[in-house]
């Protein structure tokens, strides 16, 4: 049963996640400007982003497996400690090489997947999507507070101070982990092989029913909107001609929309409809978001399009994570969520390259049109399967 200690742990995790996202968005307000000072152009900044993507792509499944084996407290402590090191390296970065080196700790910086694991372990399957969507609410809060705070601190005290502030904040998160997170949150522990670098253990999860299919859908349907998210900072700068301050307001608007959807809408939907119906809905909405995106002329139309965009993105991510964690035993939820996190890293790795190519050669509308066609194809495929299933059951 979910008793008071369990709820305390869940609330503590929500707080730790919200703080972690705050520190991450604090960093977002430092790195681009620091990179510019050190002479990075758009191309090199893209390489820097891709480096993080690759590092986290490798780190995600490994970290998830580590969390399954050594428990929630150890995993979250490692993630928060790495964040402290990350910010201290950022504070001392005064050469282009140092800017790359400071990204190395991101291999262990998986506070969000670790938080998702704790929430997954401590909630019943039918309440899982709702509980996971509340973590998205923390993401929205962190995004707004972090962007605003980062912008102000950088403006008033400079980049170095902001990075040190991030390090101090991460150290505070680490103290919260040590105080409130139990060593283990799982109903059953991992048996058998206990090595972290075990590919066969990680790929074994793909053999569970529906896992492989959901995973492929997560990558294929997620890629076009992922490309847009990665390219967004360039689009805001070049296509909408936004100033850093206006960009900050737009990010805050993103955050508020996400908070409303994750905090107020998803829980109600998951209580009423099945995971598969919601997956279909999110992919359907996403295809029309892509179509609208292809014809957007100004920032106001874009702001209007953000509503269905954030809705489909949020539902899609929460539902696929929920389906995937329900498909594996509770001793493997960390590894599964690590794999889910590495899908995001994969999108961040290939996104800038594909997005940059499309944007340079075919303009902003090409990204939207690709999203439309890809999602419509996935939608038709899923609908077809569903109708076939229903027909078989009727026989």
Instruction: Find the range with the poorest average confidence among 4-8, 236-240, 261-265, 299-303.
Output: 236-240
Rg of the chain's alpha carbons, rounded to an integer? Answer: 21
Task: Assess whether 161 and 212 both reside in one domain.
Answer: no
Confirm if 110 and 63 have CB atoms less than 8 A apart: yes
Write down which residue in 182, 215, 241 finishes a domain: 182
Residue 1: its pLDDT value, please? Answer: 43
Task: Assess whether 143 and 204 both reside in one domain.
Answer: no
Q: Which residues have a Cβ under 8 Å from the Cβ of 221 and sit 6 or more positions away?
A: 283, 286, 316, 374, 375, 378
Task: Assess whether 170 and 257 both reside in one domain.
Answer: no
Q: Which residues have a Cβ under 8 Å from the Cβ of 351 and sit 6 or more positions away?
A: 53, 223, 226, 227, 229, 230, 231
Task: Assess whether 18 and 133 both reside in one domain.
Answer: yes
Confirm if 346 and 52 have CB atoms less than 8 A apart: no
Whole-structure pTM value: 0.81
Domain hosting residue 149, numbered range = 1-182
Supply the CATH number for residue 299's domain. Answer: 1.20.1250.20
Query: In Å, how far from its chain's centre is CA 274?
Result: 23
Asked if the structure places residue 175 within a domain, the reply is: yes
Task: Assess whether 166 and 277 both reside in one domain.
Answer: no
pLDDT tens-digit series, residues 12-37: 999 999 999 999 988 877 787 788 78
pLDDT tens-digit series, residues 112-162: 889 988 888 888 888 888 888 888 888 888 988 888 888 888 888 888 899
Q: How many CB atoms lie within 10 A of CB 300?
A: 9
pLDDT tens-digit series, residues 275-325: 999 999 999 999 999 999 888 888 889 889 989 999 999 999 989 988 998
Task: Assess whether 226 and 78 both reside in one domain.
Answer: no
Report residue 336 as tokens. 């599964």
Write down which residue in 182, 217, 233 finishes a domain: 182
Task: Assess whether 86 and 175 both reside in one domain.
Answer: yes
Task: Assess whether 245 and 369 both reside in one domain.
Answer: yes
Report residue 395 as tokens. 């026989």
Task: Assess whether 18 and 76 both reside in one domain.
Answer: yes
Average of pLDDT values for 234-254? Answer: 75
Task: Assess whether 115 and 7 both reside in one domain.
Answer: yes
Task: Assess whether 343 and 217 both reside in one domain.
Answer: yes
Asked if the structure places residue 69 within a domain, the reply is: yes
How many domains is the chain built from?
A: 2
């Amino acid at each position: 049963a979910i008793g008071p200690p369990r709820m305390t742990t869940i609330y503590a995790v929500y707080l730790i996640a919200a703080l972690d996202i705050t520190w991450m968005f604090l960093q977002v307000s430092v790195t681009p400007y620091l990179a510019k000072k050190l002479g990075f152009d758009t191309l090199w900044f893209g390489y820097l982003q891709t480096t993080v993507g690759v590092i986290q792509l490798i780190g995600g499944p490994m970290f998830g497996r580590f969390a399954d084996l050594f428990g929630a407290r150890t995993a979250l402590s490692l993630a928060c400690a790495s964040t402290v090191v990350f910010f201290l390296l950022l504070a001392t970065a005064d050469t282009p090489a140092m800017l790359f080196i400071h990204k190395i700790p991101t291999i262990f910086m998986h506070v969000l997947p670790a938080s998702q694991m704790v929430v997954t372990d401590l909630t019943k399957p039918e309440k899982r999507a709702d509980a996971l969507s509340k973590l998205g609410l923390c993401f929205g809060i962190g995004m707004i507070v972090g962007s605003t705070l980062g912008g102000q601190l950088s403006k008033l005290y400079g980049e170095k101070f902001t990075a040190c502030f991030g390090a101090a904040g991460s150290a505070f998160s680490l103290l919260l982990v040590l105080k409130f997170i139990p060593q283990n949150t799982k109903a059953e522990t991992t048996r058998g092989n206990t090595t972290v670098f075990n590919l066969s253990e990680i790929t074994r999860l793909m053999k569970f029913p529906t896992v492989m299919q959901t995973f492929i859908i997560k990558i294929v349907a997620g890629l076009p909107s992922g490309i847009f998210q990665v390219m967004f900072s360039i689009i805001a700068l070049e296509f909408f001609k936004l100033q850093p301050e206006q960009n900050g307001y737009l990010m805050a608007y993103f955050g508020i929309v996400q908070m409303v959807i994750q905090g107020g809408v998803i829980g109600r939907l998951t209580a009423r409809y099945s995971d598969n119906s919601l997956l279909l809905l999110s992919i359907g909405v996403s295809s029309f978001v892509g179509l609208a995106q292809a014809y957007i002329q100004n920032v106001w139309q874009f702001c209007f399009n953000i509503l269905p965009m954030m809705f489909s993105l949020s539902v899609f991510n929460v539902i696929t994570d929920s389906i995937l964690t329900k498909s594996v035993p509770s001793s493997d939820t960390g590894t599964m969520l690590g794999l889910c996190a590495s899908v995001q890293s994969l999108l961040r790795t290939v996104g800038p390259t594909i997005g940059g190519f499309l944007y340079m050669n075919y303009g902003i509308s090409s990204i939207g049109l690709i999203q439309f066609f890809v999602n419509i194809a996935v939608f038709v495929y899923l609908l077809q399967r569903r109708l076939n299933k229903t027909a078989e059951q009727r026989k």
